[in-house]
Amino acid sequence: MGRVVVDVMPKPEILDPQGKAVAGALPRLGFGQFSSVRQGKRFELEVDGPVTDEVLAAARAAGEQVLSNPVIEDVVAVYEDTQVAAQ
Amino acid sequence: MTRVGVVTFPGTLDDRDAARAVRLAGGEPVALWHADADLHGVDAVVLPGGFSYGDYLRAGAISRFAPVMGEIVDAARTGLPVLGICNGFQVLTEAHLLPGSMIKNDHLHFVCREQVLSVERTDTPWTRDYAQGERITIPLKNQDGQYVADERTLDELEGEGRVVFRYEDGNPNGSRRGIAGISNAAGNVVGLMPHPEHAVEPGFGPDGPQGPRSGTDGLRFFTSVLHALVG
């Protein structure tokens, strides 16, 4: 079994209300060292066989066509979860 | 009688209210099921509010792939009047029938209030019974209602007169340029966040000039489309 991770983040120019709320809460809880937070999404896509280049390409296409909305989000990374592959 | 389809996705909340609004306006509501790739010969379609598919991926994102949406997208491109309300508006942006997208309200809270809007465009099949610049009051209730698009798209919408409704008396969710509703270039597809179907019957809508709960400003969305179709 293989696993591909697709990371989706709000575009830099889009205000991220959730990240902003988290950034406001951190100092109140004693984490004053972080000046900004942005909140995104991580998708884990599993395949029965190994993670081939075709699988990665399909995961990227799914990321761009379904998992993200290009108006407000970017697919920032598509990669094999090697910890799963090693198991 | 003019037949107006009302789509039900898993998680749709306001389909009954939308169907009731169609009936009160004098039309025949037709229930359309998300998994059925058939519009049953309707003359117009309403995508009502709710949380289609739980809004799990993004608001309205999964609905775009429902069998009924394939039919609606094709029909909308050839002129079928389509109205998306709240989650229905989100579905229309995800289906690329309308530009832009909705993100979480800037204040992060669910908002539920009687909202004043200005009617900016009256030459669509959904707004022809309103007067240009008229102020109407209809309910607004959402969590992901902040309309966003890039500056070029916003300029295009303004330049082509495709901003159909704007928030008045304060921006309730941080939407760019106070935009509450927009149309496609042809004008037959309209989406807005507030809910006209909740202001169609005295006794159940917002407060109005006739007294508490007397507001029926939403009804003319539905009379508009009937008048547009009859010609």
Domain ranges, ordered by start, for chain A: 2-14+40-85
Q: Tell me whether residues A14 and B103 touch, CB distance under 8 A.
A: yes
Min Cα distance B102 → chain A (Å) is 8
The whole-angstrom separation of Cα B157 and Cα B184 is: 9
- The pLDDT value recorded for residue B209 is 85
**Among the ranges given (A45-49, B56-60, B172-176), the one the predictor scored with the smallest mean pLDDT:** B56-60
- The pLDDT value recorded for residue A14 is 86
Q: Tell me whether residues B148 and A71 touch, CB distance under 8 A.
A: yes
Q: Tell me whether residues B149 and A71 touch, CB distance under 8 A.
A: yes
- Say whether the ipTM exceeds 0.90: no
Q: Looking at the annotation, which residues of B are catalytic?
A: 86, 195, 197
Spell out which residues of chain A touch residue B57, defining contact as CB-CB under 8 Å. 66-67
Under 8 Å between Cβ of B152 and A71: no
Does the pLDDT value for residue B124 go beyond 80? Answer: yes
- Looking at residues B102-121, what average pLDDT do you find? 96
Dihedral pair phi/psi, residue B8, rounded to 5°: -115, 115
Q: Tell me whether residues A15 and B174 touch, CB distance under 8 A.
A: yes
Q: Tell me whether residues A69 and B58 touch, CB distance under 8 A.
A: yes
Min Cα distance A10 → chain B (Å) is 10
The whole-angstrom separation of Cα B29 and Cα B59 is: 25
Domain ranges, ordered by start, for chain B: 1-228
Min Cα distance A55 → chain B (Å) is 21
**What confidence tens digit (pLDDT) does each residue in A41-87 have?**
999 999 999 999 999 999 999 999 999 999 999 999 999 999 875 66
Spell out which residues of chain A touch residue B146, defining contact as CB-CB under 8 Å. 17
Under 8 Å between Cβ of B119 and B130: yes
- Looking at residues B159-186, what average pLDDT do you find? 97
E strand or H helix that includes residue A5: strand A2-10
For chain B, the first-to-last Cα distance in angstroms comes to 13
Smallest Cβ–Cβ distance between B101 and the set A15, A21, A69 belongs to: A69
Exposed/middle/buried for residue A7 (C-beta within 10 Å: 0-12, 13-18, 19+): middle
Nearest partner of B100 among A23, A1, A70, A6, judged by Cα: A70
Sign of the C-alpha dihedral, residues B101, B115, A20, B156?
A: positive
Smallest Cβ–Cβ distance between A69 and the set B65, B94, B146 belongs to: B94
- Looking at residues B136-161, what average pLDDT do you find? 97
Q: Tell me whether residues A14 and B100 touch, CB distance under 8 A.
A: no
**What confidence tens digit (pLDDT) does each residue in B71-111 have?**
999 999 999 999 999 999 999 999 999 999 999 999 999 99
Does the pLDDT value for residue A31 go beyond 70? Answer: yes
Spell out which residues of chain A touch residue B93, defining contact as CB-CB under 8 Å. 71
The whole-angstrom separation of Cα B179 and Cα B171 is: 9
The whole-angstrom separation of Cα B78 and Cα A16 is: 36
Q: Which of A71, A74, A75 to mutate to test the interface with B (most CBs of B within 10 A)?
A: A71
Judge whether B163 is closer than 8 Å to chain A, CB to CB: no
- Looking at residues B8-32, what average pLDDT do you find? 98
Judge whether A86 is closer than 8 Å to chain B, CB to CB: no
* Confidence (pTM): 0.93
DSSP letters of A53-77? HHHHHHHHHHIIIIIS-TTTEEEEE
Does the pLDDT value for residue B208 go beyond 90? Answer: no
Give me the helices (H) in B119-195, please: 151-159
Q: In the CATH hierarchy, which top-level class contains the domain B1-228?
A: alpha beta
Distances in whole angstroms, Cα of residue B138 to Cα of each of B56, B79, B107, B206, B207: 27, 27, 21, 7, 9
